[in-house]
Structure 1
Amino acid sequence: MNKNLLGNSDLYLSRIGLGTWAIGGGGLTSSWGPQDDNDSVAAIHRALDLGMNWIDTAPVYGLGHSEEIVAKALKTASTKPYIFTKCSRTWNEKRETGNSLKEIRREVEDSLRRLQVEIIDLYQMHWPTPEEDIEEGWSVMADLHKEGKVRWIGVSNFDVAHMERVMKIAPITSNQPPYSMINRNIEREILPFCQEHHIGTINYAPMHSGLLTGKMTKERVANFPEDDFRKRAKNYQEPLLSRNLGWADLLKTIASRHSVSAGVVAIAWTLHHPGITAAIVGGRNAAQIEDVVPALNFRLSDAEYDEINNHIKRDKTPAETVSLG
């Protein structure tokens, strides 16, 4: 199996890893709607059985529930993966979420407890907010690394200016930005910067939260529950919805040549960029995992990559520029 070294770490990652945002469950404005915990455990087991060797989670996914489900699944898993989680998104007793970089020490202890591990393999600052606290927060992250609470430290949703600020304090192992053929914002500055400074990039939303799986329909979008954030996302509204579903149809055409799903092609498109170390893929049940797991090894030819890009260029409808996770 193909594995890539993550930045300045000693972590060799499978080309895709399991994202656990959706398994946090419903009830929040940033959730994906209701989720069955048994399905979540089955998805984690299947991902590990089929070769994914890392899991990405965060406290804010279900306000701790995603981390707890990861721990539950790993008790009976066939193999132990690398565990990545995050900090800086906090909540209060009323379940109101916000950003804080002053509670990282409490957050890491809470995550260690929920995940039932003694060390976190990659600890990531989820968002660079509030901006005035970035340096203070990153200094704490660096201390946690020195103390052995976490093996490596990274960032998520950081632009070049943010990374330049914290690099003065301690090296960055990785950045986790959104990246798909719908959202290509990082290609201009962020990916080249990370390549130049040997910062690994693990992109999230390579299938743009389901839009590029080849299984999304207008009817399905119309029936999203109210607590599914996609119901309000710009790319799930017209005229972008029709355009995006058209792009997914192209992916299905290419996928049929290789007997894989459109989602696998969407993931492979992101992995074709030399600046991408590995991609985060979500799965809410074992069947969804089986659908995308060929992306562990599947590669687009240069001709197919160009075919997709030329199709995108011909479509002048602007893509969504707002990050999703």
Structure 2
Amino acid sequence: MAHQGDGGDAVLRPRPLGRRERRFLRRGARSRWCGLSRHARETDPGRPHAIRERRRGTGIGPPLGAHRRRRLARPARPPAPDVRRGRGAARPVRCHAAASGGLGGESRDQDRGVRSQRQGGGLRHASRRPASVPAAEGRDPQDRRATGRHGLSRHDLLAPRRHARGAGQAALVKRRVLGRTGLAVSPIGFGAWAIGGNRFGNSYGATDDAESRRAVRRAYDLGCNFFDTADVYGHGHSEKILGESLEGIRQDVIVATKVGGNFYNRDVNPLLLPRLTEALGRPLAQVASDAPLPVTHDANFSPAYVRFAVERSLGRLRTDYIDVLQLHNPALGLTANPETYGVLEDLKEEGKIRSYGVSVHTPEEGLAAVEVTRPDTIQIAYNVVRREAEDRFLPAARAANIGIIAREPLANGLLAGKYGPDSAWEEGDIRARMPRPYLTQIAALGERVKELADQAGVTAAQLALRFVLDNESVSVVIVGMKTVAQVEENLSLER
């Protein structure tokens, strides 16, 4: 039953969780990972095998250059008009664009964004912590007291105000601020890995492109304005589908993508040539030099390659700017080196990106990104099973006012309550390559989450998402979706 609260907000009240259910979600109830190394339990499209390896575009706008007037990129939807703690008039996301000579407003810190001289540290200070944000602190049991008897935060159960809207307009939902970027984002974002398809065996099974496009537009209609992808997802196919789907509403949304997985590399091991020929249907020599290949051979974060990859992403996304450009899981040494971000500062100054960040695997890599002071955002895996980020990384990132993008809230779908210990996946699905002990353990935890969700009157996916949203250090959680049904289930938390 929904009850009207102050200001017309409806509070959704699921059935309360009992002591045993809350104990399951308490701090410290973590997986032991079956004794597996980090690389054995992680899968990424840039790593073809979870254990053995660590390691065309039309419709783009005119090129940005010196002949074009520098201006502020169009804001992504009216910024934060429905943020719960500020119900007055909407405030601009960016200001003083002229003072910065490029995209984005003038920093509150005079050293922010200043390029290093390629010698020395080149640190840029983080923005001053807002008064409303406490000093770094962990997510301890006392942090849960304010969440009520359900173990869930009240503000994450607020439904949007009942505003009338015309056909084709997005629903109004609450917004969170993506750290010092100032971008107002929907708490739940669209993870576009799955819509990249399974042609190259680095995704989540077969997809229907038409259904993928409908899913993207349905997410927008339900108030989602944050869409996260990567060039390596489907080797460009995810970006292509996303660009097509957002045509006509590009100015209303925030697009984040990632670069660094080099799937254009022609310098391949000769033993791979027969496999490439079979996958391509023709010899490698007959393929255009800038065409994606069906195998990701290496990672490349050199300035020249980053520029090359960004230009290709802009074409596939059908846009002339990227809101959040992320480096896709660089090694720790690169993450900690301020010189790594020099090309990103250049791209930002040129107007091709509005902000930049880094995607990481471990909290240690995340802390290195915080300490180097360069990234505006950091993306990391965080869910009811993987909670190691709570100890040091999330408090440090929040204190530095860095936008946190939480990924894998459903643990590759295993917490959605749809899979058991004996589940199997088609060849090419990344879960088919995960170690069976890990799958068995996480699937068992998924069944437990489903039991708790049934008691609370929500789905397992909704409960798992709500756990992540309950941590206010998280700016946006991206959940993989490839069908309209998945979109409607996941985004119902925002209605």
- Gapped regions of structure 2 (runs ≥ 5): 1-172, 267-292
In structure 2, relative to structure 1, the CA distance for the partners of 1:78 and 1:217 (3 Å cut) is farther
Report the equivalent of 1:162: 368
Q: Distance in 2 between matches of 1:46 and 1:132?
A: 38
Cα deviation digits, residues 171-218 of structure 1 (max 9, x gap): x21110011112222122221220121111111000111111112234
AA partner of residue 380 (structure 2): P
**Residues 127-136 or 49-58, more deviating:** 127-136
50-59 or 177-186: bigger deviation:
177-186
Query: Is 1:124 aligned to residue 296 of structure 2?
Result: no
- Aligned equivalent of 1:149, options 323, 327, 352: 352
If the length of structure 2 is used for normalisation, what is the TM-score? 0.55
Map of 2:430 onto structure 1: 229
Equivalent AA in structure 2 for residue 61 of structure 1: Y
* Equivalent residue for 2:389, pick from 173, 180, 186: 186
CA deviation string 1:45-87 (max 9, x = no partner): 1111111111001100011110000011112669832111111
CA 1:29/1:252 → structure 2, altered by over 3 Å: closer, same or farther? same
User: In structure 1, the residue corresponding to 2:252 is in which secondary structure?
Assistant: coil
* Contact 2:420–2:440 under 8 Å retained in 1: no
CA shift in 2, pair 1:79/1:198, >3 Å: closer
Runs of 4+ residues deviating >6 angstroms: none
2:124 aligned residue: none
The answer to whether the 8 Å contact 1:85/1:122 transfers is yes
Post-superposition CA distance 1:88-136 (Å, at most 9, x none): 1121254331211111111111111110111111111111238358543
Q: How does 1:99-138 map to 2 (within 5 A)?
A: 99-102=299-302, 103-129=305-331, 131-132=333-334, 134-138=337-341
- The one-letter code sitting in structure 2 at the alignment partner of 1:162 is A
Q: Kindly indicate which of the two structures has a greater share of residues assigned to strand.
A: 1
**Deviation of 1:257 (Å):** 4.7
Q: Which amino acid aligns with 2:355?
A: W
- Equivalences for 1:214-293 in 2 at 5 Å? 214-218=417-421, 221-222=423-424, 224-234=425-435, 237-238=436-437, 240-293=438-491
Q: Name structure 1 gaps, 5 residues minimum.
A: 298-325
Q: 1:61 and 2:233 equivalent?
A: yes
- Give the aligned partner of residue 87 of structure 1: 259
| Cα separation, 2, equivalents of 1:290 and 1:195 | 30
**Counterpart residue type for residue 96 of structure 1:** V
Cα deviations across residues 208-253 of structure 1 (Å, max 9, x unaligned)?
111111122345x32x11100111223xx23x44443343333333
- Do the aligned partners of 2:367 and 2:393 also contact (CA within 8 Å) in 1? no
User: Following the alignment from structure 1 to structure 2, what is the Cα–Cα distance between the partners of residues 46 and 136?
Assistant: 40
Structure 1 position 48 matched with structure 2 position 220:
yes
Amino acid at match of 1:260: V
Q: Displacement of 1:165 after TM fit? A: 5.8
1:160, distance to aligned residue in structure 2 (A): 4.0
Flag the structure with larger Rg.
Answer: 2
Seen in structure 2, the aligned counterparts of structure 1 residues 160 and 17 have a Cα distance that, compared at 3 Å, is closer
